[in-house]
Amino acid sequence: AGADIVNDVTGLRHQPEMAEVAAEADAPLVVMHSAGEPGDLTRPRDYDDVTAQVRDALAQSVETAAQAGVEQIVIDPGFGFGKSNEDNLRLINEVDELLTLNRPVLVGISRKSTIGATLGTPEDPAPVGDRLHGSLGATAVAVMRGATIVRTHDVAPTVKMLKVLSTTLRQP
């Protein structure tokens, strides 16, 4: 019994007691940014400054989790959840602005509709099976900007890309 990790896709907005579940299980907690209500989490919302608003919402989630006694808190900007393609691309490029929360940043960009729209068009996105290279590129940018945890559908190619990336970045 118990949990190895707890992932809350509403950033504890709808079930703040999930933080207590994670604390009692001594499990890491991933708090993801999303907007809207369950069942309507993916429809893009309007943001004045998507990165600042995501950061501020995640700060609230981190505070809720910490008050419940969760020690290991991971933040996830929630690519594809309540954000436009432009919002998602901006967040990828500005992942480093989330580092001010002093928590590991998890990114899950793999095969997202933003990748499909970027490789094709919003009206005619690249098929899911053709999104690997775009997913790898976006993941590389996020990692270079400070993301430390990657969720992906394509583990082997992502590991290879990250190996080359980390080896290259270690060079003088």
Whether residue 111 lies in the annotated active site: no
Provide the token pair at 42: 């993916």
Whether residue 151 lies in the annotated active site: yes
Q: Which of 55, 111, 112, 145 is catalytic?
A: 112
Backbone CA torsion sign across 86, 87, 91, 97 = positive
Which residues, in sequence order, are bridge partners of residue 31?
A: 8, 75
Q: Which residue is listed with tokens 């919003």?
A: 122
Q: Which of 151, 160, 163, 170 is catalytic?
A: 151
Q: 37, exposed or middle or buried, with CB in 10 Å at 0-12, 13-18, 19+?
A: exposed
Range list of β-strands (E), the chain: 6-8, 29-32, 73-76, 106-107, 149-150
- Active-site positions? 112, 151
